[in-house]
Structure 1
Amino acid sequence: MGLPQPRPQSYALITGASQGIGAALARDLAKLGHNLIIVARREPVLAALAAELEAAHGVEVLVRAHDLSQPDQVSELLAEIAELEISILINSAGIASFGPLAKADWDYEISQFELNAAAVFRLTYAVLQPMLDRGVGAICNVGSAAGNVPIPNNATYVFTKAGVNAFTEALHYELKGTGVTCTLLAPGPVREAVLPEAEKSIIDKVVPDFLWTTYETCAAETLDAMAKNKRRVVPGPLSKAMNAVSLVVPTGVISPVMGWFYAKMS
C-alpha cells in the first residue's frame, strides 16, 4: 500500500506550507506530480512557492491564505475544499509557547490549542469520509516527541501534541484495510540544513550537525513512512534518541529536567 497516485483532479493539502516541514513536503509531493493546496497565513510566501513548484513540476498549486488558529478561517478553508478531491492531507501547521501556564498570554494559548489540535481534528474529519468512499487516501498529522512527556513550562504545547499523537495513532488502527492510511510524524528538533553561526542556539552549537534532522530529510522519511503505512515516524538520529529516552526514563526523572530546560527558553 503506497501513497495515492497523482491524478489530474486530486490534490494534496498541506497546512503550514510556508516554511519548515510543510514547505519541504510540498516540494517533494510536487516533484512526485501531485497537485497541491498549500495553506498558511502569509499569502506572498505561498504565492512564491506556488509559482516555483508550478514552473518546476507542471503541477497545479492552489494558494489558500488562512490563519488556522481562528475557527472561522478553518470553516472558510473547509468550504473552499468541500467540492475538491483531497487524496493526501498533511496537517503540519503548529506553534509553541514556553513558560508557566499561569503567566502565559491567554489569547496565544487559545490560538495554540485551536491551531495545533482543533484545526487538525476538523480537517482530518472533513477529508476522511470522502477518502473512505473512494477507498484511497493518506493522512499525516504532525505531532511531536514532546507529546510523549509531561513537560513543565510547555504545558499547552504538550497538551495539544499528546492529543494529536494519540488521535492519529488511533485512526491508524481504525483505518486498517480501508485503503486509507494515517501516519503520525513525531519529530524532535528539526532545522535548516545550513544554519548561520549568528542564528545558532546553545543546542545548535553543542549538538553535532550530523545528528540534526533537516526539513528535507524529515520530509523524505515522512513520505516513505506514509507509503509504507507506518503508524509513526520519528525522523533523524537526535529525534529517535529523544523519543527512546522519553519512553523509558521515568516521568518523575525526565519531566523536572525538561521543565527546567524549557523554563530557560521562555
Structure 2
Amino acid sequence: MATALITGATAGIGLEFAWQLAASRHNLVLVARDAHRLDAVAQQLNSVAGVHVDVLPADLGTREGIDSVVQRLSDRDRPINLLVNNAGYAINTRFLDSEIDDQAEALTVMVEAVMRLSHAAAKVMRQRGRGLIINVSSVAALTASGTYSAHKAWVRSFTEGLAVELSGTGASAMALCPGFVHTEFHERAGIDYSGFPEVAWLSAEELVREALADARRGAVLSTPSLRYKGASGLLRILPRFVVRALQVRGAVASTAAGRRNPITTPSQT
C-alpha cells in the first residue's frame, strides 16, 4: 500500500485529504501541532478505513518541527509516495499593524516548511522514480492581500518550478489553488465571512475530490470548480493596478461593515 504524509491533517482540507486517501487504501502519516487531536483522528481513520496511521506531532513554525518531518520524509526504508503540504493559517491583522515575529512564523510555516519538506520528499521520489507532491497554494496568490497572498504566490511559482525539475523522473508536483472553502480556517483566524454568498464557497469534500482527480491526470496547477477557474483566469489577465484597486475597495467595504479584518484570504489550509 502507498503511504501519504499530510501536514495540517487534523482539520479542514488536510483532514479531508486524510479521509479520501484512506478510502483509496493509502496508509497515512499525519502531521499537526496538537498531539491529542492527532491521536483522535488517527483512531477514527484506523477504525473506519482500516488503514495504518502514524502520527507525527510537529510545529512547522519551528526549525525543530520542520526537521522532524524532513527526517521522516528522508527515510528510504519507509518511503512516502504522496506528500500534501497543507499546513497554514491567516493572520487577522494588516502587515504594518502586526508583530513582525508573528509574520515571520507564518512565513516559516507556509514557505520555509513547504520548501524543506518538498526538497526532502522530491529527492527520494526522484531516486525511486515515482511519487507526488501536492502543495496547497490559493486563488489568493493572484491577488494583493498582503503576506498571505505573497506566501501562496511563492508556493504556486515554486511548485511549477519543481514540476519542471521533476519532469521525466516519474515523480511529479502539483499546486492546489482553492478559493473559499467551508472549514474552520476563517473562524480560527477570527475572520467574519458570514456575509459572503453561499455560491462563493466550496465544500472540502468536492475540493479534495477534484484535486486528486487533477493529480491523477498529471496536472501541475489545480483550481477546483468552474467559478474559481474563471476567477483565476480573470485575475491573471486584469492589469495589476485593477487588482490592487479591487483589494482596496474590498478593504474599505469590509471596514465599513464592521468586520475585524479587511484582508481577504480566499483559501484555507
Bin of the TM-score, shorter chain as denominator length: 0.7 to 0.9
For structure 2, list consecutive stretches of 5 or more residues without a partner in the other structure.
185-189, 255-260, 263-269
Q: Secondary structure of the residue that 1:213 maps to in structure 2? A: strand
1:254 aligns with 2:243: yes
Q: Please name the residue that 2:49 is paired with.
A: 57
Q: Which amino acid aligns with 2:208?
A: A
1:91 aligns with 2:85: yes
Q: Please name the residue that 2:216 is paired with.
A: 227
* Alpha-carbon displacement from aligned partner over 1:100-142 (angstroms, at most 9, x marks no partner): 3222121110011000000000000001111111111011000
Question: Identity rate of aligned residues, in percent?
Answer: 30
Q: Please name the residue that 2:28 is paired with.
A: 36
Pick from 168, 178, 200: which aligns with 2:159?
Answer: 168
Q: Please name the residue that 1:17 is paired with.
A: 9
Q: Which amino acid aligns with 1:67?
A: D
Q: How many residues align?
A: 249
For structure 1, list consecutive stretches of 5 or more residues without a partner in the other structure.
1-6, 194-198
Pick from 175, 179, 196: which aligns with 1:184?
Answer: 175
Q: Secondary structure of the residue that 2:31 maps to in structure 1? A: strand
Q: Which amino acid aligns with 1:155?
A: G
* Alpha-carbon displacement from aligned partner over 1:155-180 (angstroms, at most 9, x marks no partner): 21122111110010111222222111
8 Å CA contact 1:212–1:236 kept in 2: the answer is no
Q: Which amino acid aligns with 1:49?
A: V
Partner Cα distance (2:24, 2:241) in 1:
45
Please state how far the C-alpha of 1:99 moved relative to its aligned partner.
4.2
Partner Cα distance (1:259, 1:12) in 2:
40
1:245 aligns with 2:237: no
* Alpha-carbon displacement from aligned partner over 1:50-99 (angstroms, at most 9, x marks no partner): 11111112211111111101122111222244323111000001112254
Partner Cα distance (2:88, 2:232) in 1:
19
Q: Please name the residue that 1:76 is paired with.
A: 68
Partner Cα distance (2:7, 2:35) in 1:
13
Q: Which amino acid aligns with 1:218?
A: L
Q: Which amino acid aligns with 1:136?
A: R
Partner Cα distance (2:212, 2:110) in 1:
21
Q: Please name the residue that 1:108 is paired with.
A: 102
Q: Which amino acid aligns with 1:253?
A: V
8 Å CA contact 1:99–1:262 kept in 2: the answer is no
Pick from 127, 135, 139: which aligns with 2:129?
Answer: 135
Partner Cα distance (2:176, 2:220) in 1:
9
* Alpha-carbon displacement from aligned partner over 1:239-258 (angstroms, at most 9, x marks no partner): 22331221122111121221
Please state how far the C-alpha of 1:205 moved relative to its aligned partner.
4.2
TM-score, scaled relative to structure 2: 0.86
Across the aligned residues of Structure 1 and Structure 2, the Cα RMSD in angstroms comes to 2.2
Partner Cα distance (2:182, 2:40) in 1:
21
8 Å CA contact 2:114–2:135 kept in 1: the answer is yes
